[in-house]
Amino acid sequence: MSVSDEKLIAFVDGELDGAERAEVEAALAADATLAARAEAQRKLRTRLSAAFDGALDEPVPERLRAATEAAPRAADVASMADRRAAKTRPQWSFREWGAMAASLVGGLVIGLGAMNANAPMIAPGDDGLVARGQLARALDTQLASDEAGAVRIGLSFRDQNGAYCRTFDARGTAGLACNQQPLAGRAHGRKREHRRSAYGERTGGEKCWRRWTNASRANRWMPTAKPKRAKRAGTEQPCPGREAIREPSMGSARNVGHGSRLSASLRPGSVEH
Amino acid sequence: MPSAAAPTGADIAALLPRLRRFARALTGHTADADDVVQIAVERALMRIDQFQPGTKLEAWLLSIVRNAWIDEARARTRRSKTFVAPEAGENVGSDGEAAMHAKLEANDVWAAMQQLPEEQREAVALVCVEGLAYREAAEALGVPIGTVTSRLARGREALARLLGETP
């Protein structure tokens, strides 16, 4: 019988089962040329299987090993575009921001500066001060690139619960305002050390708010940090908020109070850079 | 969230030597091979949730390496194409393509592999170099088993002639 090339190769590769294998064995026994071909293919396979084995003995290059660690998990990043965007965001631990959003603002010093007393930008709310009016509008809608108005917006963050914090500089009153979101239990039990690490060695004032990127979100903005006068660049003041970090109270992890809710037609979760 | 059975970066790292070996058989160059493996690792990690737990991780990764090579090869001229004198020999691996020949050292397996058309080379690399079963190779390539066996047979006959393994 004649054995097709495919069958011969499959035989050499051990892919034939009982009946077919016996068939080929019989044919090989009867045909010396066929047997020689089978032997040649067996030798070839041995050569092929060994020819590239150097790769198994060599140490793996570091960049390949690193590649197995470096990529983001699919759960964290939905797409390549998100991955690129994520790389440009500052590497904050967002839990600090969430804690600050939940904390009450005590000892707040507000430099009224050029703020119009008839249109206050920061006003008392149920659990602390709440942004109003021009400041609230700016926090809701303004992009950091817009430096023309009375309020300059610096950096915005989104923490893991979707709450946003933004820094602002309103003509002498600078601070950090966080979107008051119900943080449900995440605001509690967080160690103080985590919060202190948020700013590191960075300095405040101009440097602080300029350093951050943009996000926008519609909601109520509550200053949670101790606003201070905007400093000249190069001063060594810590970023706004550092002094005001403290244990959140039980009542802080829910949406505050009343007051005019400003509408802004922004898609939740949209991030603009 | 990845399930407990999902492979980790460490699981992939453990298979890097095999992925490099396979990529060398495909590309014919160690540097190209590592480039292709790096792309494949990144893609594998991005879609790690698509891996079916219980199936063979190495087969899944090898198919990703193979696809990465296809993408890469399309983007560049095949280095293995060389024109040689007519006495170099008969057509090998024609498969309807213009056949390119090279006068080869008898034991130059790397160059011989590069003489094969991609589809034969990848079948030979999966089965003969990486030791996959025909069924596994068919799955990795996304073709029926019959297609694998015919490409394998043609590729091995061509290699036998190129490498002097003829009776």
pLDDT digits (tens, 9 = 90+) for A87-135: 555 443 333 433 444 343 333 333 333 344 445 555 555 544 556 666 6
pLDDT cut 70: percent of chain B above it: 78
Amino acid at B50: Q
What is the DSSP code (8-state) at residue A228? B
Q: What are phi and psi of B135, to 5 degrees?
A: -65, -40
Tell me how far apart the alpha carbons of residues A44 and B166 are, in angstroms, rounded to a whole number.
Answer: 9
3-state secondary structure of A105: coil
- Chain A nearest-CA distance from B146, in A, is 9
Q: Are the C-beta atoms of A150 and A170 separated by less than 8 Å?
A: yes
| A219 vs A260, higher pLDDT | A219
Ramachandran region, residue A213 (left: φ > 0; alpha: ψ -120 to 50; beta: rest): beta
Task: Report the alpha-carbon distance of residue B105 to residue A155 in Å, rounded.
Answer: 65
Which residue has better confidence, A217 or B53?
B53
User: To the nearest 10°, the Cα dihedral for A53, A54, A55, A61?
Assistant: 170
Tokens of B5: 């059975």
What is the overall mean pLDDT for chain A? 58
Percent of chain A with pLDDT over 70: 25
Query: pLDDT tens-digit profile of B123-158?
Result: 999 999 999 999 999 999 999 999 999 999 999 999
Q: How far apart are CA A182 and CA A110, in angstroms?
A: 26
Residue B136: how many CB atoms within 10 A of its CB?
A: 21
CA A176 to chain centre: 20
What does pLDDT average to over chain B?
83
Q: How crowded is residue A90: how many other Cβ atoms within 10 Å of its Cβ?
A: 10
CB < 8 Å from B in window 11-40 of A: 13, 15, 33, 36-37, 39-40
What's the average model confidence in pLDDT over A235-261? Answer: 39
SS (H, E, C) chain B: CCCCCCCCHHHHHHCHHHHHHHHHHHHCCHHHHHHHHHHHHHHHHHCHHHCCCCCCHHHHHHHHHHHHHHHHHHCCCCCCCCCCCHHHCCCCCCCCCCCCCCCCCCCCHHHHHHHCCHHHHHHHHHHHHCCCCHHHHHHHHCCCHHHHHHHHHHHHHHHHHHCCCCC
Which among B34, B149, B153 is the nearest to A61, CB-wise?
B34
- Which residue in A has a C-alpha nearest to residue B6's C-alpha? A73
- Mean pLDDT score, A231-256: 41
**Closest Cβ opposite residue B165 in set A40, A55, A74:** A40
